[in-house]
């Protein structure tokens, strides 16, 4: 079916006004206004686009430090110490698009094209489960072979793989936009978040990097995709922009504008926001004018945390281990770990990165266990929890629970339970010792009462029996 014949959402509109966003970014910094907005955000109120622009205008070191401190405080108050972990699993890199920044672009003759068959997919999932992963995001190129039925079948196949205590409890999707029927079909497979990146919200840049005649060239079709997903019954959706294609401040406003639009049109904003920085890829073209410095990258993370207090912020392994460690303090709530981007990469042991088989170059290639150990030593609770999704605490219901602090009170016990599973089933001695110290410290911080007592009983069951997936 051609794009013009496919139905947009009921209230489809291009809500990105380039001139208006640039005008907001041209306004001078106002220190007093910044402090007012920090206070509003610390009151757990989301910011609008104009308010976000005011924070982005604050570039002097003292103002930026105030924004950083507020983002850290807000993250602690909403999410506690937990960091959710996942892994991306590339299913196929056939692609009809020709995005200038992507190693999988259709015209890249140097790319090795692979689509995992059933046996290869099972082997990859078994390898991920053997590391201890419980949450995956399946990634697909944009190609007719990867239609909604194919994606739904892949999700079901992943859920079906269980090895010992290993199982994948949540499958998220990063794939092409569909019409309502396509999203409905994928949702029926039990997927979690459906993630679609606009890549760039700037119209002229979007047209330049997505050549005409490709499926991805239709800006409005892509911009409207997550509205269609929500109308089709998908509980959670994720937005994202690829930083380094255009002005980072404009893209930050684009992400916030998208969140504002989804809340206004559907009563719930995005479940997650991603903000990957462009990285070298085989055959890609980069415009160095728009590359984002580490300092500005940390600024945009902090501003996003203040703008969307209850939205998960995802920081990927594109970034170095050192920068990721610094960014965790500023509001990041989810990271990938043990990541391999090449097709079949989790069953291919050893060796360096192979750009001809990857979408881009990774910055953090540490194992899941190395990341887990660093997190626990630094006082974070690595979490594989999926309780909210199994109990219906998703979409607007998630917001109902999150706003009064429910997520912090109940996600911390659930995170500790999934950490205990990892320590019992997969961790070497050094990580196990660090993790058990962290669990003891967190128990010491909990109020005495029925919840703490029940958590202690469940932790004992995990350590001494085969009981698993004990969530509140």
Asked whether residue 448 falls in the same domain as residue 309, the answer is: no
Per-residue pLDDT, 356:
47
Asked whether residue 266 falls in the same domain as residue 407, the answer is: no
- Identify whether 37 is part of a domain: no
- Digit-by-digit pLDDT tens for the chain (472 residues) are 344 456 898 889 999 999 999 999 999 999 999 999 999 999 999 999 999 999 999 999 999 999 999 999 999 988 889 999 999 999 999 999 999 998 888 888 888 899 999 999 999 999 999 999 999 999 999 999 999 999 999 999 999 999 999 999 999 999 999 999 999 999 999 999 999 999 999 999 999 999 998 889 999 999 999 999 999 999 899 999 999 999 999 999 999 999 999 999 999 999 999 999 998 666 667 788 999 999 999 999 999 999 999 999 999 999 999 999 999 999 999 999 999 988 899 998 555 555 445 555 788 999 999 999 999 999 999 999 988 777 776 655 455 455 555 665 778 999 999 999 999 999 999 999 999 999 999 999 999 999 999 999 999 999 999 999 998 8
Asked whether residue 381 falls in the same domain as residue 409, the answer is: no
CATH number at residue 320: 3.20.20.70
Per-residue pLDDT, 3:
44
Angle 218-100-243 (CA atoms, 0-180°, nearest 5)? 85
Asked whether residue 287 falls in the same domain as residue 262, the answer is: yes
Measured between alpha carbons, how far is 172 from 400 in angstroms, rounded to an integer? 22
- Give every CB contact of residue 444 below 8 A, 6+ residues apart in sequence: none
What count of other Cβ atoms lies within 10 Å of the Cβ of residue 447? Answer: 7
Cβ atoms of residues 292 and 257 within 8 Å: no
The range of the structural domain enclosing residue 136 comes to: 3-16+74-392
Per-residue pLDDT, 63:
97
> What is the number of domains present in the chain?
2
Measured between alpha carbons, how far is 21 from 239 in angstroms, rounded to an integer? 18
- Identify whether 288 is part of a domain: yes
Asked whether residue 284 falls in the same domain as residue 373, the answer is: yes
Asked whether residue 359 falls in the same domain as residue 417, the answer is: no
Asked whether residue 358 falls in the same domain as residue 449, the answer is: no
Asked whether residue 381 falls in the same domain as residue 455, the answer is: no
Asked whether residue 453 falls in the same domain as residue 333, the answer is: no
Question: Of 341, 360, 392, at which residue does a domain stop?
Answer: 392
Asked whether residue 258 falls in the same domain as residue 179, the answer is: yes
Distances 325 to 295, 299, 339, 419, 457 between C-alpha atoms, Å? 14, 15, 16, 19, 33
- Identify whether 66 is part of a domain: no
Question: Of 392, 416, 445, at which residue does a domain stop?
Answer: 392
What count of other Cβ atoms lies within 10 Å of the Cβ of residue 254? Answer: 23
């Amino acid at each position: 079916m051609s794009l013009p014949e496919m139905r947009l959402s009921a209230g489809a509109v291009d809500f990105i006004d380039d001139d208006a966003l640039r005008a907001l970014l041209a306004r001078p910094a106002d220190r007093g206004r910044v402090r007012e907005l920090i206070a509003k955000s610390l009151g757990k109120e989301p910011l609008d686009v104009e308010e976000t622009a005011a924070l982005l205008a604050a570039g002097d070191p003292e103002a930026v430090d105030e924004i950083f401190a507020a983002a850290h405080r807000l993250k602690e108050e909403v999410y506690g110490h937990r960091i959710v972990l996942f892994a991306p699993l590339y299913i196929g890199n056939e692609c009809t698009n020709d995005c200038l920044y992507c190693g999988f672009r259709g015209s890249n003759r140097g790319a090795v094209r692979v689509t995992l068959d059933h046996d290869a997919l099972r082997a990859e999932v078994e390898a991920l489960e053997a590391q201890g992963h419980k949450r995956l995001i399946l990634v697909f190129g944009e190609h007719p072979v990867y239609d909604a039925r194919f994606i739904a079948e892949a999700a079901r196949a992943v859920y079906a793989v269980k090895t010992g205590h290993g199982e994948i409890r949540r499958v998220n999707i990063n794939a092409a936009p569909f019409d309502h029927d396509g999203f409905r079909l994928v949702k029926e497979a039990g997927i979690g978040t459906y993630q679609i990146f606009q890549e760039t919200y700037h119209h002229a840049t979007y047209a330049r990097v997505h050549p005409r005649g490709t499926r991805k060239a239709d800006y409005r079709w892509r911009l409207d995709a997550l509205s269609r997903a929500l109308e089709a019954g998908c509980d959670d959706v994720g937005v994202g922009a690829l930083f380094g294609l255009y002005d980072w401040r404009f893209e930050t406003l684009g992400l916030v504008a998208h969140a504002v639009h989804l809340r206004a049109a559907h009563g719930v904003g995005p479940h997650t926001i991603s903000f990957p920085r462009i990285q070298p890829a085989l055959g890609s073209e980069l415009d160095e004018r728009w590359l984002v410095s580490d300092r500005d990258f940390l600024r945009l993370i902090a501003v996003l945390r203040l703008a969307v207090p209850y939205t998960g912020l995802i920081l990927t392994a594109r970034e170095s281990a050192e920068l990721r460690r610094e960014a965790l303090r500023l509001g990041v709530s989810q990271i990938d770990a043990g990541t391999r981007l090449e097709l079949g990469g989790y069953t291919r042991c050893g060796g360096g990165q192979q750009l001809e088989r990857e979408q881009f170059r990774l910055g953090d290639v540490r194992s899941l266990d190395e990341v887990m150990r660093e997190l626990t030593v630094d006082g974070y609770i690595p979490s594989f929890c999926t309780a909210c999704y199994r109990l219906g605490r998703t979409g607007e219901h998630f917001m109902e629970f999150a706003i009064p602090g429910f997520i912090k009170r109940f996600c911390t016990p659930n995170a500790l339970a999934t950490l205990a599973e990892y320590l019992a089933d997969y961790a070497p001695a050094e990580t196990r010792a660090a993790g058990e110290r962290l669990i003891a410290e967190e128990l010491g911080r909990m109020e005495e009462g029925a919840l703490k007592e029940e958590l202690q009983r469940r932790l004992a069951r995990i350590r001494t029996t085969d009981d698993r997936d004990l969530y509140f």
